[in-house]
Amino acid sequence: MGNEKQVKTSFRRIPPFIEIMDCTLRDGEQTSGVSFLPHEKLMIARRLLTDVNVDRIEVASARVSEGEKDAVKMICRYAEHEDMLKRVEVLGFVDGKASIDWIDDCGCKVINLLAKGSLKHCTQQLHKTANEHIADIKQSLRYASEKGMDVNLYLEDWSSGMKDSPEYVYQMMDELVNTSIKRFLLPDTLGILNPLQVIEFFRKMLKRYPDTHFDFHAHNDYDLAVSNSLAAVLSGAKGLHVTVNGLGERCGNAPLASVQVILKDQFHANTSMNESKLNQISKLVEGYSGIAIAPNQPIVGDNVFTQVAGVHADGDNKDNLYCNELVPERFGRKREYALGKNSGKANIARNLQDLGLDLTPEQTKKVTRRITELGDRKELVTPEDLPYIVSDVLKHNAPEDKVKLVSYMVSSSYGLKPLASIKVDINGQEYEADSTGDGQYDAFVKALRKIYKNSLNRTFPTLDNYSVTIPPGGRTDALVQTVITWRNGSKIIRTRGLDADQTEAAIKATFKMLNIFEEDMNEEKYIHT
């Protein structure tokens, strides 16, 4: 029988490799209110294939529109140039030659053929028998083969089929398993399954068809898409379908980032993905889709690497007691420590350290007290506010503004674009500029950009995110709070402005940002335009 070491070695579990197909550009675009432009689809596809390195992408449904056709052609041209064409797939229908011709004309070489995976869908939607539907599928397979295409087969509504008509599912598989189909794609189309059912149904499929490649396609109607995806892998699925940020019809699909980390950390499975790019692709899709990422969305949300409670920051100072395997550096991010009424001295100390401010314990206590008071008033405190709070509390001279607003005028008229005229003082020198924009604040920022580009020969930081809020429980006549996220190269900074007027609040946040970047001038050189 061999010794103990030999026995352990012989039964060592080999981590499986899981193929990931991203469906953002097809199923994700079926999110209500989402429509990607062709160039946006191309940009997302490029990032998914090259940066994130997913194995496959499903980019469209056949015969949707001419705009969709243009997008698929662009993606396929790019993929062919990069020798990635076999990683691009398009959903097609069992409609004779129509879908196959459409996909072929786009230059795509892989079709995901949509067949019916439940008896109800077959008889009530197609008004056909199982044998008739199978005959149509085989006809499509032959034509796709003539066109030199690879075929994967969706069994739409497979989850209902396994619950209500398993004999139909098995009939379909018995007839098609030995054809040219490369992968069988098993969707929980209505998001009705739980993990135990996924395990049961996958094991039944693999027992009958052990050498078949099965993908699982989850929907999140019961908030079980991620759990069900893991259950499918545990039961032998070789591929999973995901979308960036969990976009998709109704409640969406399994989120790409969440599936990746669970596969790696909880199941020790292997994938091809580059985790450090997950946050970047998430932000890109957020911008193009217009669907905001929830702040607490795992991995990619703004707050998921932010410690709020002071006891957590204290624990991090003591051998990272409140950290797990999801360290922010793994995803190209960093841990932050929130400032508010729950912060405590440890949070304050962390932020002071990052800013290079050295305070005594008594001074830190005073600053902590002031931040707690601001939190009680529901005011947002950012790390960038700390130097000003310290100066106020300790009666130091406030940091001198190097960029000052001397005067400005913004106007809007019916039928005309808003106009902004500004005069600013930068390091003792005054500059003036005018500009129009899509809004008053947009016109103001464009005027500032003119000064930085034309007069100073510097780049102006780009606006990454913009939000206007009234604190929860506030009155409609309360001051509005504008929070703006800026990007300058690799540096990201968030500033806020508070005022009764939204534009004025945004201007205050803008000048706060400019002064912060001016303070950094000795360390970070501006890129010349």
- Say which DSSP state 148 is in: T
Alpha-carbon span 498 to 298, nearest angstrom: 30
**Assigned token pair, 237:** 């699925």
User: Contacts by 6-12 with C-beta closer than 8 Å and gap 24+?
Assistant: none
Q: Hunting for tokens 């098993």 — which residue is that?
A: 186
> Catalytic residue among 29, 58, 68, 156, which?
156
Instruction: Report yes or no: 383 and 348 within 8 Å, Cβ to Cβ.
Output: no
Residue type, 304: V
Please report the DSSP string for 290-314 in residue order: --PPPTT-TTTSTTTTEE-SHHHHH
Q: Is 156 a catalytic residue?
A: yes
Residue type, 141: L
**Assigned token pair, 105:** 């004309």
- Pick from 72, 141, 153, 173: nearest CA to 112: 153
> Catalytic residue among 26, 47, 458, 494, which?
26
Q: Vertex 304, ends 303 and 305: CA angle to 5°? A: 95
Cα 308 to chain centroid distance, Å, stands at: 23
Q: Hunting for tokens 């997913």 — which residue is that?
A: 54
Q: According to the 3-state scheme, what is the secondary structure of 345-360?
A: HHHHHHHHHHHCCCCC
Alpha-carbon span 13 to 16, nearest angstrom: 9
Helix (H) or strand (E) holding 463: strand 462-469
Query: Based on the number of CB atoms within 10 Å of its own CB, is 360 exposed (0-12), middle (13-18) or buried (19 or more)?
Result: exposed
Helix (H) or strand (E) holding 21: strand 19-22
Helix (H) or strand (E) holding 278: helix 278-289
**Assigned token pair, 427:** 């390091």
Q: Hunting for tokens 């929980």 — which residue is that?
A: 188
Backbone angles phi, psi at 332, to 5 degrees: 70, 25
Kindly list the catalytic residues.
Answer: 26, 156
